[in-house]
Structure 1
Amino acid sequence: MVHRLEPLIVRHTHRIPAPAGPAGAGDVAARQFDAVLMSVGFKLSAEALEHLSGLAEDTVVGTAVRTLGTVRAMVGDHVRHNVYFIDFPANVPDTFDFWMRCIAEALEDDKARAGTIAQLRSGVVDLLTLPSYGNYRHTYAEMLAAHDELTAAAGDRLTVLHLAGDVEDEVTALYLALAGSTTPLGEEHLGDLKVLAGYCADGPQPEAIPVRENRAVVNEARLKSGASLLLDTVTDVLRLACALSGGDVTLQEPTRFRALSRPVRRALLAGLDSVVAAAPAKLADVTTHREPFKRLGERLHPHEYPRWPHAADVFAVARGEKKARTFDGRVEELLGANDVTGAVELLKSAPGKLFRSLDRLLRTTPTQEERDAVVTAAEEVAPDVSGRVVLSVREHLHNRAEETGRRRVFVNRLGRAHVTDDTRPPVPPTERKRLIAAFDADIRRRLPVVERLLVDPDVLDVALPLSGRATAAGLGVLPRGSVSPVDGELLRFFVYWRQTAHTTDYDLSALLLDAKYATVSWLSYTNLKAVEGEHSGDITDAPEGASEFINLRLGAVRGTFIVPQVNIYSGEGFQETAESFFGFMLREAEQQGRPFEPRTVRMKSELRGPGRVALPLAFRRAEDGSWHAKWLHLYLKGHPSQNRVEGNRVTVATLVRGIVEREQLNVRYLTGLMADAGATVTPWDGETVPDVPVTYIGLERPEGLHPDSRVITPENLRDLIPG
């Protein structure tokens, strides 16, 4: 069983659990393993290679097979990436000429001729009806034969896999890290936590599980193992019921509750009863999720269990048969009566709600005395607010500049985004600056005492992961708002999808914008070639999987921004396909190679969000000509079908502008606070590592660090967020 969990360790830590096995002469197998890893952009650390070389060959081979499968999937090399135009990026035809060729081939086809002639007479030809359009015209092997081998370059990605400890210890450590995370996890990590929680239910547990969704997943495992449940609100029970039914523990999407066994029903009802008996005011939480509680009550049959009357009260409130005055309602009553001081005093008993109300309170409070009361209250309760909320509000206030007329970008937990005009009056500057200073002091106090800090300069502009949902699962993926350098002459995007049951057509496109976010050009199936690059051709059906590519010469790009996007033209959504992911590669001009080369992949992220248009990231050219990526992780609602880059240019440009011009709290901010607290900060030169323990923060773990060092990389960047 435990070997099945090794891929989780590799994905989350970029480390290989030390195999258990007899000693032997495994050096040849270990070197072969290392060579195959390098072909897909990975490499064993010196310590890992040495350890494997001293084990029996069979042990090394078993480790290699498991690890190679994992890293190939991480980079997107576990599938075959074919292209419509076999020589891509060479010999891509002009769009109009290509369409005319497809029509000519249809006229030569006995089955398609009559229909094509009829369409020509009407003046409109549907490309999807042409036999030679949208489907591969050659095999994968034929495509490989048409391309030269990739020439190795110094800039190729090489991700080092380090040696970890015993697999049991590593599984436990990963479970404790995910379960005890101070920030919400993304969908994939939450799924990994569920697997780990089932395995670790009887082992060590985190001291606290502050994130409610994590608690629901852990409670599901505890319920199945017979352990006591971790409950302190009625919503904890609702989330657990959603987990047991395979539903959404974030409560953002409705869950269809399954029939539950009597032991499970008793456990849930007993949990509800104990929560309400200890704090009857918590009945007010029911009103926030009234409909889900009503549907849950239909499955739990509380009337069959009179010994838990407080549980019955929960469902009476949900049905409207019993009143429960809500906290928010009491606050609104006080504000409606212009009693700001009373509202603030009440909000002090719920510090998180007070923090989330600060913007509204400060811009609507009429007197200086009342504004001072708001700020003073926030300063008093700040130590009782989670670090994630303090940082979120601090970032919000930083971006609430004194001028008005900006656009507001809203992004929900699933990555769905929309934009509106910001009509709010500004937050008073004096109070805004006072709060920012107070929050900085509070976060500085919470950060661990660090004596030596070794920092990779490339990580400084990575946004703090205040929510795991502000990113996507994958390799080389950074949180929304992060900025990372892009070094290379050729930028190549790719998308892969495999439909589940219905014909599905995804269209990879790239929108080019100038410095004022106006459209310069685009590359898509409607514009296969431009000065900047080429499109690999439109694939319209993916029963066995399909890929599309866009090749760009960065030196030739007209404009300031490159915005890749994936449009769903028809068929299954991103969450419905068997598999779908996006990524980009960087190459030197002379490298050649296949359309997809895993060694050149810099990022590969899953596409699993809502909406019909995906915007993973954007690329921006600086004044000195260098390029940087700005990470978006956004999804637009789009149209039910026939989404095209031409139809969403204005919306995309507005969203990109909103994200680009917003300043996120980043690693630079936290390292600055650590330096203020006395840490010695040393920029890492990429080679030299100290021979003493340090706290290292960077994009990848260096070799040779002192074993007692603490290592922070994007995979565990959430550990920087104080509780």
Structure 2
Amino acid sequence: MVVRHTFRLPTPAGPAGNGEAAARQFDAALMSVGFKLSAEALERLSGLSSRTVHEVAARILPTVRELAGDHVRHNAYFIDFPANVPDTVYFWTRCIIEALADEDAREHTLARLSAGVVDLLALPRYGRYQHTYDELLAAHDELIAAAGDRLTVLHPGGALEDEVTALYLALAGSATPLGEEALRDLGDLAGHRAHGPRPEAIPVRENRAVVNRARLDAGADLLLDTVTDVLRLACALSDGDVTLARPTRFRTFPRPVRRALLAGLDAVVAAAPAKLADFGAHREPFKRLGERLHPHEHPRWPHAAEVFAVARGERAAPSLDGRVEEALGAGDVTAAVRLLSAAPGRLFRALDRLLRACATEEQREAVLAAAEATAGRVSGRVLLSVREHLQNRRTEGAGERRIFVNRAGRGRVTADTRPPLPPAARGRLIAALDAEVSRRLPDPGHLLIDPAVLDVALPLSGNATSAGLGVLPRGSLSPVDGELLRFFVYWRQRGRRTDLDLSALMLDESYETVSWLSYTSLTEIGGEHSGDVTEAPEGASEFINLRLDEVRGAFIVPQVDVYSGEGFEQVEESFFGFMLRDGEQAGRPFEPRTVRLKSDLRGPGRVALPLAFLRGADGRWSAKWLHLHLTGMPEANRVEENRLSVATLLRGAVEREHLTVRHLTDLMGRRATTVTLWDGAAVPDRPVTFIGLERPEGLHPASRVVTPVNLRDLVPA
């Protein structure tokens, strides 16, 4: 877990010895899958016994292989892929001819053909591997090493207990929501650290719910300050959705758990009676929770019973939101601002609406003054989210497009019908936000910046990324250096036949379709598809190979469609990624050393859009990270059918200006003693604050290091 999250190798506990040979063997094995020990890590392992080194290797090698997607066998339907991929119609015709020669398939094939239909799934040759994985390996030459191959360095860490504690504190105290995998790992870590150190604050409510579940199991005190904290904890105890985005079916709680939840509710309301109605849109879940907790059986906690009475409508408790709506409905913006000033986070989320509701300059001044006065009490994530919102907010002219992305990653684009914001008000708010964020940023001292990280979007939401290797937050832009771009998808069905289809849509500068590669178009100028695999009881892979200098169009949009069977959240495993190669490297269809991205495919939609590739004015390509899902159809999703929706969504994503690392480094640079753009050469021999895509070797031990694995640490609390 520590290696997955930090790329740090905890110091093994074992006897000293001469483990140099074993350590070099371990390093060579790591390099075969695109990883490597740093010089210091190699030196540390060399001083341990060979047995200890072998034990470390046995744990770490499977971990990094899974990170790169090399823990499974990637077979391709066409054994010579990307060579000798046939024309689509020729291939289908050959499958039909072979079916007509097959006694078992001839009758059904003739019956379908007589009706003017080709049933591809009924053809014996179609969609099923015609060779073994070992036969595929024998058909391909070895990969030729190239300077551009990925090499992810594993740096030495401290003692395992210290590394685990540090990881727990970092995840629990994160200022931004965690992704699904990180939240699950936090739950495991919290179980080991329930009675140990805890972060100064747990600002993200979902994280607090996961930690509280572990603390309740361990008999430790709960960390609660709102009634919704108790609801989230109940969801966690029921293995439900702690984000409250989806309904949770509450289980029957044991009596000690019921007592703990009721006591927690009672204490929260007793300390702050105004929180009695602080459950907003979650009235129905509270009513269902009350049916499980039986508050009427516990008169010792009367305040807890009041919460459920309010949820059932038996007692009136006007909520803050209700009073704000009443004030706005009466046109009294000043009163609404006065109410929201008691909840600064809600005030900032409502700033745009409040400014649009202002009828006079006096009301506008009240809104701006309240924002400036309460900015110090708003979380850094909200400040930055509002800053990103404002920089995309027009101040004049007709509306264009707005993109909305929900917690599940589903995106939609609509026309922006809101009136523009006054330029002066927008500028004043942006200045106030920048000043407050700058005030909270630490003094960086010598700020050393890798320019490649500047266009990486800030992780303001855990749902803006997926678990995997080389994954960046939604909206990030990163350069693509290589001659061959190869996508891959792997899936393994759980209980029923499942067919996932990998496709790539090429669009021009106007977002019009140029061409596509899919099972219905196996070859296209500049690219090849590895062939359609229609079931995956033992796992299956599909690939798309593209020669970037031959691709027509300005955008490449890979997508994974659920054609039939289980969705991304039901399959046993599914992930997407891409490799970059030089033209003469050869190798197997899947080579872990060339993998730049491997991202888990999770989400409720039936069409996944992990990222897109954009050609710049200079002809160079960049990757734009999307992490989006389309709802799609229940069955038979195809690139041909959803290309208009994809083009619309892509336009909205490309035109949105995300807040990036560049914004925070600009603010930090104002307070730095020295700012240096790192050119990949030697690093300073004194402590620095390094911000980049990968930690360089040789940094001073006292340096602060921020890379994508802990990018959330840049967001101030």
TM over 0.5: yes
CA contact (8 A) 2:449 2:677 kept: yes
Give 2:74's match in structure 1, choosing from 62, 71, 81.
81
Secondary structure at the aligned position of 1:618 is classed as strand
- Mapping of residues 542-561 of structure 1, within 5 Å: 542-561=536-555
CA contact (8 A) 1:286 1:314 kept: no
Match of residue 9 from structure 1 = 2
- Mapping of residues 65-464 of structure 1, within 5 Å: 65-402=58-395, 403-464=397-458
CA distance in 1, matches of 2:137, 2:673: 53
State percent identity of aligned pairs.
73
Question: CA-to-partner distance for each residue in 1:111-166, whole Å, 9 max, x for gaps?
Answer: 11011101111001111111111110100000010000000000000001111000
Q: CA deviation at 1:301?
A: 1.3
Higher mean alpha-carbon deviation, 121-130 vs 707-716, is at: 121-130
CA contact (8 A) 1:511 1:563 kept: yes
Q: Check if 1:623 corresponds to 2:627.
A: no
CA distance in 1, matches of 2:671, 2:8: 32
Q: CA deviation at 1:426?
A: 1.0
Higher mean alpha-carbon deviation, 360-369 vs 46-55, is at: 360-369
CA contact (8 A) 2:280 2:321 kept: no
Partner AA of 2:67 in structure 1: M
Question: CA-to-partner distance for each residue in 1:82-129, whole Å, 9 max, x for gaps?
Answer: 000000000000000001011111101111101110111100111111
CA distance in 2, matches of 1:360, 1:288: 19
Q: CA deviation at 1:473?
A: 0.6
Count of residues paired in the alignment: 716
CA distance in 2, matches of 1:439, 1:679: 23
Secondary structure at the aligned position of 2:373 is classed as helix
Match of residue 635 from structure 1 = 629
Give 2:522's match in structure 1, choosing from 518, 528, 542.
528
- Mapping of residues 499-648 of structure 1, within 5 Å: 499-648=493-642
CA distance in 2, matches of 1:450, 1:136: 56
CA distance in 1, matches of 2:624, 2:193: 38
CA distance in 2, matches of 1:387, 1:83: 47
Q: CA deviation at 1:404?
A: 2.8
CA contact (8 A) 2:333 2:357 kept: no
Question: CA-to-partner distance for each residue in 1:286-331, whole Å, 9 max, x for gaps?
Answer: 3521111111111111121111111111111222212221101100
Partner AA of 1:345 in structure 2: R
Q: CA deviation at 1:65?
A: 0.8
Secondary structure at the aligned position of 1:111 is classed as helix
Q: CA RMSD in A?
A: 0.8
Q: Check if 1:19 corresponds to 2:9.
A: no
Partner AA of 1:411 in structure 2: V
CA contact (8 A) 2:613 2:622 kept: yes
CA distance in 1, matches of 2:671, 2:339: 34
Higher mean alpha-carbon deviation, 578-587 vs 272-281, is at: 272-281
Q: 1:604 to 1:371 in 2, by over 3 A?
A: same
CA distance in 2, matches of 1:678, 1:153: 38
Question: CA-to-partner distance for each residue in 1:330-349, whole Å, 9 max, x for gaps?
Answer: 00111111111111111111
CA contact (8 A) 1:287 1:317 kept: no
Q: CA deviation at 1:405?
A: 2.6
Secondary structure at the aligned position of 1:569 is classed as strand
- Mapping of residues 653-672 of structure 1, within 5 Å: 653-672=647-666
CA distance in 2, matches of 1:17, 1:203: 19
Q: After the TM superposition, list the runs of 4 or more consecutive aligned residues in structure 1 that deviate by more than 6 angstroms.
A: none
Match of residue 45 from structure 2 = 52
Q: Check if 1:481 corresponds to 2:475.
A: yes
Where structure 2 has 5 or more consecutive residues not aligned to the other structure, the ranges are: none
Match of residue 3 from structure 1 = none
Secondary structure at the aligned position of 1:512 is classed as strand
Q: CA deviation at 1:500?
A: 0.5
Match of residue 682 from structure 2 = 688
CA distance in 2, matches of 1:679, 1:673: 13
CA distance in 2, matches of 1:141, 1:683: 47
CA contact (8 A) 2:276 2:317 kept: yes
Q: CA deviation at 1:285?
A: 2.0
| TM-score computed with the length of structure 1 as normaliser | 0.98
Secondary structure at the aligned position of 2:104 is classed as coil
CA distance in 1, matches of 2:660, 2:197: 32
Partner AA of 1:458 in structure 2: A
CA distance in 1, matches of 2:14, 2:445: 39
Where structure 1 has 5 or more consecutive residues not aligned to the other structure, the ranges are: 1-7
Partner AA of 2:349 in structure 1: R
Match of residue 712 from structure 1 = 706
